[in-house]
Structure 1
Amino acid sequence: MAINFRKGIDSSLDGVTKLVFGAAWDRKAAKQSGFARKLALKSGGKINLGGGQKDIDLDLALILYRDGEPKRIVIGHNMDPVHGAAVHSGDNQTGEGDGDDETITLNLTSLPAWVTEWAVAVFAYKLGTNFDQAQNVSLNVYDASNQGSAVLLDELMPTLGAGATASIIASGKINRDATGNPIDGWTTTLVDKAGRLGSQGDDTAVLAFAKQNAGI
């Protein structure tokens, strides 16, 4: 099915029971000084100071909300907080390799009744890291409702400001009655809001950023 990831537009997820979010990023090549470049040229590459690629640890996360209040984080160090309904693949600390570096599988039909919204985000969670140290940051969204291969729905390219450490990329919401039963199906929308965590390495700061910036 077609899902329209556009800011301010709610797109229906009717017929979708399972989503997979895949974050990908590449390591950025470190710059060589002019002296190092000259030395490498003079030595025919035998002496090579600086440059090359440096590992960067970004973190894919899913924040689960109850009536607009963020309550749980699905992230590399907290991979399965809601018992199989939203599961993280594990922490990739380098950005090395092709394809998705980290994934989260979200089973919409298995979420606890208290979950009324969610937001998917990428963070530079580790102290001293930021998005400037990575390149080609993207979020693939797949429909994994049917058995077999997941179907790519869209590749989202977040807007990342200089020095940013946090980006809410997309969100979802559902209306429920007083007993927790869905009134309408899930919808999703593009958020694309970047900024800085109040403090890195702190789940409380992640929840605070999600509350302020996800538009929920």
Structure 2
Amino acid sequence: MVVSLAKGQKVDLTKTNPGLSKITVGLGWDTNKYDGGHDFDLDSSVFLLDATNKVSGPQDFVFYNQTTGGNGSVVHTGDNLTGEGEGDDEQVKIALKDIPESIQKVTFTVTIHDAEARTQNFGMVSNAFIRVVNDETNEEIIRYDLGEDFSIETAVVVGELYRHNGEWKFSAIGSGYQGGLAALCNDFGLQVG
């Protein structure tokens, strides 16, 4: 049974699904009618955060140019340049039991590539979602549909897995940012240009 979340809701992941060890986190979106003459490329990225809500270094930032983090426990399956088609546009495979103890949160974000140069923002994006699938059964267990809450933002923290009393939970975040990926990196302790 799928648990559908609203913004701000949290749900147990491993406690209510005993034995769950390998999951796929799927992210998807559509773009509204857009006539700017540029491709619309959304990118998912993952930040592996310690107890201070920061990455310990560049190795804890997983994205299309660095697809593996957390000693191999988090793997981005690659960049989808168009977002066309049904289902997940990008996926992240996670081995929950292999995530290093120092990592307390796995934060999922989506940004618009070259948003400022292309004058694009999340007001032009619809049907965005994040979902968690049990790899063993291929069953969707959690889903969060973001709705149409955004206008000028160029980055969104979609959701996060976090440790709580030895179990993993999932939180539907849905927070928008201006400043794209650079703003997210700075907030999570990565210095970028």
What TM-score comes out, normalization by structure 1 length? 0.70
Q: 1:195 to 1:186 in 2, by over 3 A?
A: same
Q: CA deviation at 1:24?
A: 1.3
Q: Does 1:25 align with 2:29?
A: yes
CA RMSD in angstroms comes to 2.7
**What CA deviation, in whole Å up to 9, does each residue of 1:32-64 have, x standing for no partner?**
xxxxxxxxxxxxxxxxxx9xx963111112211
Distance of aligned partners of 1:125 and 1:54 in 2 relative to their CA distance in 1, 3 Å threshold? closer
Structure with greater contact order relative to length (CA < 8 Å, sep ≥ 6): 2
Kept after mapping to 1: 8 A contact 2:10/2:169: no
**1:90 aligns with one of 78, 83, 94:** 78
CA–CA distance in structure 2, aligned partners of residues 163 and 3 of structure 1: 29
Change (3 A) 1:63 1:10: same
Gaps of 5+ in 2: none
Contact in 2 for aligned 1:79/1:89 (Cα 8 Å) = yes
1:103 Cα deviation after fit: 0.5
Q: For 1:91, what is the secondary structure of its paired residue?
A: coil
Q: Deviations over 1:162-194 (max 9, x none)?
A: 11112222222225xxxxxxx521122222222
| Structure with higher strand content | 2
Corresponding residue SS for 2:157: strand
Distance 2:82 2:177 in 1: 22
Aligned position for 1:113: 101
What's 2:41 paired with? 57
- How many angstroms does 1:195 deviate by? 2.3
Q: Where in structure 2 are the equivalents of 1:5-44 lying within 5 Å? A: 5=5, 7-14=8-15, 15=18, 16-30=20-34
Q: Which residue of 2 aligns with 1:69?
A: 53
Q: In the aligned structure 2, how far is the partner of 1:69 from the partner of 1:193?
A: 15
Compared CA separation, residues 97 and 8, structure 1 to 2 (3 A) = closer
For 1:157 and 1:10, the matched residues in 2 are separated by 15
Distance (Å, rounded) in 1 between the aligned partners of 2:14 and 2:4: 10
1:195 aligns with 2:177: yes
Residue-pair matches, total:
177
Q: In structure 2, what is the equivalent of residue 156 of structure 1?
A: 144
- 1:47 corresponds to: none
Instruction: Tell me if the contact between 2:53 and 2:188 (Cα under 8 Å) persists in the aligned partners.
Output: no
* SS of residue matched to 2:75: strand
State the TM-score, normalized to the length of structure 2: 0.77
Structure 1 unmatched ranges of 5 or more: 32-49, 176-182, 212-216
Is this contact kept in 2: 1:3–1:13, CA < 8 A? no
Alignment partner, residue 136 of structure 1? 127
Partner of 2:168: 186
Q: What stretches of structure 1 move > 6 A for 4+ residues in a row?
A: none
CA separation in 1, counterparts of 2:142 and 2:11?
Answer: 15
Helix, strand or coil at the partner of 2:108: strand
Partner of 1:206: 184
Counterparts of 2:47 and 2:97 in 1: how far apart (Å)?
A: 17
Q: Percent identity?
A: 21
Separation in 2, partners of 1:10, 1:208: 28
